[in-house]
Structure 1
Amino acid sequence: MHIGDRYGQLFQMSYITRDMDAAIAHARDQLGITGFRRSESTIEVMSFGQKRTLSVKAAMADIGANQFEIIQPVAGATEIYTDEVDLGGHILNFHHVAIAVEGGYDNWARLLDDVRASGDEFAFLFPAEPDPQAKVCFCYVDTRQRIGHYTEYLWMDPALAGAAPAS
């Protein structure tokens, strides 16, 4: 399957910031985006083949069936958020699109196989080791050489209905 075949499941645009409060204020005042839900997390990811810790702050706002996400890298494997991004420039810096992987875990496993066959690298893979018991899985794929930005894929167990991105 080609990456373009999955664009029908696109549900999120994601931006990187150096200052979450200022970025949310900008989104509100300049873009009219409100209703952000904030979170902070530290997780273990497989990052370009190495298990590493990643800490970020995130804020998401729903806009119809889509999401506007802001990420502030905090510590650990933050290079994919900071390399090639001018955090000293604009308060919001485009980084990636996110595509939903719907259905059972078998669809997630197929997606991983498709990515491996594409030749693109996994910038992040969570959980760091494949786990059919996982309830949420995501990966960032380094598609910069082909389309100029990263592509995130997100799978949620269908039992988490209502939490999954709308398609």
Structure 2
Amino acid sequence: MTHLGPRYGALVQMSYVTRDMDAAIAHAETQLGITGFVRSRPEVEVLSYGVPRRLAVEAAIANLGTPGAVRQFEIIAPVAGAIEVYEGTASRDALLAFHHVGIAVPGPYAAWEALLADVRASGDPLALLFPAAPSPGTKLCFCYVDTRARLGHVTEYLWADPSLAGIAAAPWLGPPRS
């Protein structure tokens, strides 16, 4: 089993699960002062615990900070498909329930490949992988590692091609730009 510590360097996201997206966004705006959410309803093909499946969620992302120091506050409402990784997170009474931290994987695509090799060697289950079959030329990759047994939460790793810097789903994940 490999250690998690070396992979926890670039925390870029805190993510919560909700059963009511409108109420959760309103709460974040009025009670937490987080505004500027960009909403989407992605439906993608993922590898879910080793099986190719569709995943549909509603997501709202607010990018906070300045270029080179962007952090995300994400709210997810599971919709259909490979949503098991979200189940059991939100209680019936909680509007927002903590689900995962997002860690940036800076560097070229080879850094993403090295991260995946390390995750696979860790012994922690690879809960979700997008794209289901990543390859050079891919512009955006993420995976959820089921670290609940060791940490009590899921850990997401994000890699984005620098050409995507600034879009809601992929803030700049590399080193600060000058």
Q: TM-score, normalised by structure 1?
A: 0.93
Question: Among residues 104, 107, 114, which one is paired with 1:100 in the alignment?
Answer: 104
Unpaired runs of 5+ residues, structure 1, are none
2-structure distance, mates of 1:66, 1:58: 16
Classify the secondary structure of the residue corresponding to 2:107. coil
Letter aligned with residue 56 of structure 2:
S
For structure 2, the residue ranges without an aligned partner over 5 or more in a row are none
1:131 deviation in Å?
1.5
Per residue, is there more helix in 1 or in 2? 1
> Match for residue 86 of structure 2?
81
8 Å CA contact retained: 1:18, 1:87: no
Report what 2:123 is aligned to.
Answer: 119
How far apart, in 1, do the equivalents of 2:32 and 2:58 lie?
A: 20
Q: For residues 17-45 of structure 1, what are the alpha-carbon distances to aligned partners after superposition, in whole Å with 9 as ceiling and x for unaligned?
A: 01110000111111111111111110000
CA distance in 2, matches of 1:155, 1:86: 27
Query: For residues 34 and 80 of structure 1, what CA distance do their matches in structure 2 show?
Result: 27
Counterpart of 2:40 in 1: which secondary structure? strand
Count the aligned residue pairs: 166
Q: Give the C-alpha shift of residue 51 in structure 1.
A: 0.6
SS in 1 for 2:29: helix
Q: Which amino acid aligns with 1:73?
A: P
The aligned residue for residue 68 of structure 1 is 73
- After alignment, is 139-148 or 155-164 more displaced? 155-164
Measured against aligned partners, the alpha-carbon deviations of 1:113-153 in whole angstroms (never above 9, x if no partner) come to 00011111110001111321211010000011111100000
Q: Which structure has greater strand proportion?
A: 1
Aligned identity (percent) is 61
Distance in 2 (CA, whole Å) between partners of 1:4 and 1:16 is 25
Matched, 1:22 2:29: no
CA contact (8 A) 1:11 1:165 kept: no
What corresponds to 2:155 in structure 1? 151
Query: Could you tell me whether the CA contact under 8 Å between 1:13 and 1:97 is conserved in 2?
Result: yes
